[in-house]
């Protein structure tokens, strides 16, 4: 194998840290490591750790004392010889060592190339490879658990009985092609019809979990909108339980949008505080208001914040006009002060719910947290079971169900076995695309381009 097939990358995030891990994979991984150690006789035991001195191959200067971990093919993540160098986490030092390995003949790894090699060597399937990316990107404990279950092969386990059932249907239909003069016995035809109906239901039920899975993985975008000085930033800080936004009594204090991640019942929620909406001649404030309008347009839910201590104003009306047809709810802040009373369905002709809170005392915040999720809870019936979280998997499951329904309809119409089989093989092909058996190189390249370098 040429040296260029031995790849190198920094596997830990860039920046200063206690340690930084440099990963090598390929036939010459150990050779390049020996060059860094200036020890051609270095022959570590597989799966063991050695504390060694790393030298600059160009001039022999000491670079670091590092832990060297060796994994021998095929018992490694990629199925190839692998070495991991656990160095001190200086960005300059780590870059220097990576550069030295590149000069020795290693090649800089492409995004996700280590995982792609693991897939190519049969260590994992494509669904498990994607779960590695999801695990790294997970923003809540619930998302971590789902990604870990998929990494453990649970999706593959759920798909295998479906594939087996498909093959049990395909075999008698293929056999019947050899004996075209004979129809399928009624008992076998009835059994195939039931099997197809059961398969459609099974695939559709699995695909339907994507509604909850998408929320768990991608989360929600919620925007706080309102005129100046209604307490948006105070409410933002109260929901986060920390002083993230600057709060003053001066209207227009918030000039730019500010976003933070909030975990609500396992769903990652990106909540955005915005500049107050009003007519302004101030150039900087006007830019902030334009960003507010974009945040409103991009939100899954807009929280229209109002001041309950005073009557509604024309500026409140202007904010609601800006919200338009976006999904929204009303929050009356400052409920600790003598407040005006409004009921659900009584504001601006909207049927949206009305929540009373006090960002100052915390009253009503739990009700608000529940109300933020309420519009989406129909899609989030999460009972701890396995969920489809990947849009690609969802699409392929939908295609599978469509092909199965088509084959079932043709079978009931006594169409030729060739037509029925064509749709059954399509369904089998789509299922194989989830775990990678039938995935094209172009699709693989697109998937792994979304991975981080070093994974």
Find, among 7, 3, 11, the residue nearest to 454 by Cα: 11
Residue 1 has what pLDDT? 39
Buried/exposed 316-340: b ≥16 CB within 10 Å, e otherwise: beebbebbeebebbbbbbbbbeebe
pLDDT exceeds cutoff 50 at 133: yes
CA Rg, the chain, in Å?
29
- Cα 255 to Cα 239, 277, 332, 392, distances in angstroms: 20, 10, 22, 39
Per residue in 305-339, pLDDT tens?
A: 998 888 888 888 888 888 888 889 999 988 887 66
CATH number of 3-109: 3.30.1360.120
Q: Which CATH number fits domain 217-376: 3.40.50.970, 3.40.50.300, 1.20.1250.20, 3.30.930.10?
A: 3.40.50.300
Q: Where in the chain is the domain with CATH 3.40.50.300?
A: 217-376
Per residue in 29-51, pLDDT tens?
A: 999 999 999 999 999 999 999 99
| Tokens 């060796």 -> residue | 70
Average pLDDT estimate for 269-295: 76
Residue 87 has what pLDDT? 97
- Residue 277: which pLDDT band, with cuts at 50, 70 and 90? confident
Q: Is the distance from CB of 74 to CB of 50 less than 8 angstroms?
A: no
Residue 379 has what pLDDT? 59
Average pLDDT estimate for 242-248: 65
Q: Where in the chain is the domain with CATH 3.30.1360.120?
A: 3-109
Average pLDDT estimate for 104-125: 93
- State pTM to two decimals: 0.79
- Cα 109 to Cα 42, 74, 122, 133, distances in angstroms: 24, 19, 19, 16
- Residue 446: which pLDDT band, with cuts at 50, 70 and 90? confident
Question: Burial of 434 by CB count in 10 Å (0-12 exposed, 13-18 middle, 19+ buried)?
Answer: buried
Per residue in 177-232, pLDDT tens?
A: 766 556 677 888 888 889 999 999 999 999 999 988 888 888 899 999 888 888 88
Q: Which CATH number fits domain 128-209+387-448: 3.40.30.10, 3.40.50.150, 3.40.640.10, 1.20.120.430?
A: 1.20.120.430
Residue 17 has what pLDDT? 92
Per residue in 384-407, pLDDT tens?
A: 688 999 999 999 999 999 999 999
Residue 2 has what pLDDT? 41
Average pLDDT estimate for 414-434: 92
CA distance 244 to 224: 14
What are the strands of the beta sheet with 267-273, ordered from one edge? 258-264, 267-273, 220-225, 301-307, 328-333, 354-356
pLDDT exceeds cutoff 90 at 158: yes
């Amino acid at each position: 194998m040429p040296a260029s097939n031995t790849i190198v990358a920094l596997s830990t995030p860039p920046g200063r840290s206690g340690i930084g891990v440099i990963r090598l994979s390929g036939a010459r991984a150990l050779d390049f490591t020996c060059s860094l150690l200036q020890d051609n006789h270095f022959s570590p035991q597989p799966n063991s750790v050695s504390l060694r001195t790393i030298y600059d191959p160009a001039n022999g200067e000491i670079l670091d004392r590092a832990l060297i971990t060796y994994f021998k093919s095929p018992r490694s993540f990629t199925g190839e010889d692998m070495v991991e160098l656990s160095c001190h986490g200086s960005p300059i030092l780590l870059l220097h060592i990576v550069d030295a390995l590149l000069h020795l003949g290693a090649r800089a790894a492409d995004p996700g190339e280590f995982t792609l090699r693991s897939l190519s060597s049969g260590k994992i399937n494509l669904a498990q490879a994607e779960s590695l990316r999801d695990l790294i990107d997970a923003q809540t404990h619930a998302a971590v658990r789902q990604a870990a279950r998929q990494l453990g092969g649970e999706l593959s386990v759920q798909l295998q009985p479906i594939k087996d059932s498909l093959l049990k249907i395909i075999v008698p239909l293929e056999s019947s092609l050899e004996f075209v003069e004979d129809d399928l016995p009624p008992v076998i035809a009835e059994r195939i019809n039931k099997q197809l109906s059961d398969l459609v239901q099974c695939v559709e039920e699995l695909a339907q979990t994507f509604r909850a899975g998408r929320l768990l993985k991608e989360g929600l975008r919620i925007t706080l909108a309102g005129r100046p000085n209604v307490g948006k930033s105070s409410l933002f800080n109260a929901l986060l339980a920390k002083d993230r936004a600057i709060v003053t009594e001066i209207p227009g204090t918030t000039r730019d949008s500010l976003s933070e991640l909030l975990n609500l019942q396992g769903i990652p929620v990106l909540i955005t505080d915005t500049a107050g909406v009003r007519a302004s001649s101030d150039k900087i404030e006007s830019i902030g208001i334009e960003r507010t309008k974009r945040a409103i347009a991009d939100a899954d839910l807009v929280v229209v914040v109002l001041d309950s201590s005073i009557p509604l104003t024309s500026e409140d009306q202007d904010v609601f006009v800006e919200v338009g047809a976006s999904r929204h709810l009303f929050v009356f802040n400052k409920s600790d002060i003598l407040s005006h009373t409004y009921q659900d369905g009584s504001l601006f002709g909207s049927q949206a719910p009305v929540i009373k809170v006090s960002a100052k005392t915390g009253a009503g915040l739990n009700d608000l947290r529940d109300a933020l999720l309420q519009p989406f809870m129909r899609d989030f019936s999460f009972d701890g079971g396995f969920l489809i979280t990947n849009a690609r998997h969802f699409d392929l499951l939908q295609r599978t169900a469509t092909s199965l329904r088509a084959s079932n309809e043709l079978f009931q119409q006594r169409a030729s076995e060739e037509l029925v089989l064509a749709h059954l093989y399509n369904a089998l092909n789509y299922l194989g695309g989830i775990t990678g058996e039938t995935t094209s190189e172009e699709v693989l390249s697109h998937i792994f381009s979304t991975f981080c370098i070093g994974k």
